[in-house]
Amino acid sequence: MMPKSSATSSLGPSSRLAVRVPFVRPSLPPLSALADSYAAIIQSRMLTKGPFLDRFERALADHLGVRHAVAVSSCTVGLMLAYKALDIAAGRCEACAGDRPACPLVLAEPLGRFGMARAGGRSEPVGEVVMPSFTFLAAPAAVVWNNLRPVFVDVDPDSTNVTPQSVAAAITPRTVAIAACHNFGNPCDVSALAAIAAEHALPLVIDAAHGFGARFEGRPVGAGATVQVFSLSPTKLLVAGEGGVVATDCDCVARLIRLGREYGNDGGYNAAFAGVNGRMPEVCAATGLAGLEILEEVAARRRQIAALYRAGLAGLPGIGWVKEALGGESSFKDFSITIDSTISGVSRDGVRRALAEQGIETRTYYDPPCHRQTAFEQFHDRRQTLPVTDALSATSLSLPIGAHVDEAIVTEVCRIIAGQVRSASF
């Protein structure tokens, strides 16, 4: 069992319950595996743009099976730069046309071609990105930062990912890109989505923030889309402190992301386009590089914990969990359950409170869903209902998972949930 910590629960401003089982504790390589690298970085005085970045990027490209893995300061910045790069590269992607005619950007049109329209006294983006609402808010944020409009579509209740059908139905002449996510680490169907994207000559952007540790058909997820963008923040399986990775087979996109993370400046102080400081520091690259060595172990432990949760919760009325699609192996970045109060007799928030009273921290990903958030609701057509998204938002609860969660904790969590359900049925 975990020792008591002085941290407090995140159930709300009035709640001051001590956290005994944190929701997440990052899995890090042993200090002995990092100490020499950290020392070399300090001694070299190369805190950024040094040899660890190069080594980390090469190791990542190899691991993910892509031509380019470009490390950036976060997944959010990676997504922002990805839309920018796709806009610039679309239709001008000659470097790829020669050796790999399959690059979707050869035929695609620039994302920004529709620009902004005046509506109700203000400017609104016209170019649309078809994407889920049941996802993390960074995904639509990156779209809106690029003057594009998120068009939210519903997800599959089992996988919690967008389906090829829901995406295809939402494509209009204004669509400029398709975006999907490996929600909770559960791989979405990249091949089917890529086929739809290719049919419409659209780029496919996968938010793979939860993707390290996930596999599809035996291979790590990362290839097959125009870009897949990973996160290396502390809640993920591969941790760099903060950081992101843009994985792509397109030479043009990779070059533009590298330029974009350097303010758009190739060294001549004449910015080619408006970029950002999106660099990854050397200590983060060194941490991620050492983390790659333990990734399989970290993922295997998560799969074990998920199996224990499934066994412990099996048969409880109204309790479900995210299902892996055929061929997909989740990273279990999260183990997310659903609590249907009409069957179980208990609400998601009631279960959450019962766990919090025992010092067990949980998260309510993703509530509210993106289409109901202040920043994004203006883009959502209210006539378009997202019933699965709304239901998942109201009923989903992510349980603690990671190396700090042992069998005794899983048993305790399942016992508390079962107790709630059983007491409700009497």
Ligand X SMILES: Cc1ncc(COP(=O)(O)O)c(C=O)c1O
Among 133, 135, 147, 398, binds ligand X (CB under 6 A): 135
Nearer Cβ to ligand X (139/167): 139
| 244 contacts ligand X (rule: CB under 6 A) | yes
Q: Which amino acid is at 358?
A: Q
| 344 contacts ligand X (rule: CB under 6 A) | no
Q: Which stretch binds ligand X (CB under 6 A): 13-21, 111-119, 134-142, 270-278?
A: 134-142
Nearer Cβ to ligand X (184/309): 184
Nearer Cβ to ligand X (150/312): 150
| 133 contacts ligand X (rule: CB under 6 A) | no
Q: Which stretch binds ligand X (CB under 6 A): 51-59, 205-213, 285-293, 383-391?
A: 205-213
| 87 contacts ligand X (rule: CB under 6 A) | no
> Distance from first CA to last CA of the chain, Å, rounded?
31
Name the minimum Å distance from CB 338 to ligand X.
18
Q: Which stretch binds ligand X (CB under 6 A): 189-197, 203-211, 319-327, 417-425?
A: 203-211
Report residue 360: phi and psi, to 5°: -105, 120
Residues in a beta bridge with 130: 151, 178
SS (H, E, C) the chain: CCCCCCCECCCCCCCCCECCECCCCCCCCCHHHHHHHHHHHHHHCCCECCHHHHHHHHHHHHHHCCCEEEEECCHHHHHHHHHHHHHHHCCCCHHHHHHCCCCCCCCCCCHHHHCEEEECCEEEECCEEEEECCCCCHHHHHHHHCCCEEEEECECCCCCCECHHHHHHHCCCCEEEEEEECHHHCCCCHHHHHHHHHHCCCCEEEEECCCCCCEECCEECCCCCCEEEEECCCCCCCCCCCCEEEEECCHHHHHHHHHHCECCCCCCCCCCCCCCECCCEHHHHHHHHHHHHHHHHHHHHHHHHHHHHHHHHCCCCCEEECCCCCCEECCCCCEEEEECHHHHCCCHHHHHHHHHHCCECCECCCCCCHHHCCCCHHHCCCCCCCHHHHHHHHHEEEECCCCCCCHHHHHHHHHHHHHHHHHHCC
| 373 contacts ligand X (rule: CB under 6 A) | no
Name the minimum Å distance from CB 31 to ligand X.
23
Among 74, 226, 287, 336, binds ligand X (CB under 6 A): 74
Name the minimum Å distance from CB 6 to ligand X.
24
| 347 contacts ligand X (rule: CB under 6 A) | no
HSE, side-chain direction, 13 A CA sphere, residue 321: 22
Name the minimum Å distance from CB 343 to ligand X.
28
Among 53, 64, 177, 181, binds ligand X (CB under 6 A): 181
Name the minimum Å distance from CB 278 to ligand X.
11
Among 5, 48, 166, 233, binds ligand X (CB under 6 A): 233
Name the minimum Å distance from CB 47 to ligand X.
20
Q: Which stretch binds ligand X (CB under 6 A): 81-89, 207-215, 259-267, 302-310?
A: 207-215
Contact 24, 5 (CB under 8 A): no
| 209 contacts ligand X (rule: CB under 6 A) | yes
Q: How many positions of this chain bind ligand X (CB under 6 A)?
A: 15
Among 41, 138, 214, 370, binds ligand X (CB under 6 A): 138
| 231 contacts ligand X (rule: CB under 6 A) | yes
Among 87, 156, 207, 390, binds ligand X (CB under 6 A): 207
| 286 contacts ligand X (rule: CB under 6 A) | no
Residues at the interface with ligand X (CB under 6 A): 74-76, 135-136, 138-139, 181, 207, 209-210, 231, 233, 235, 244
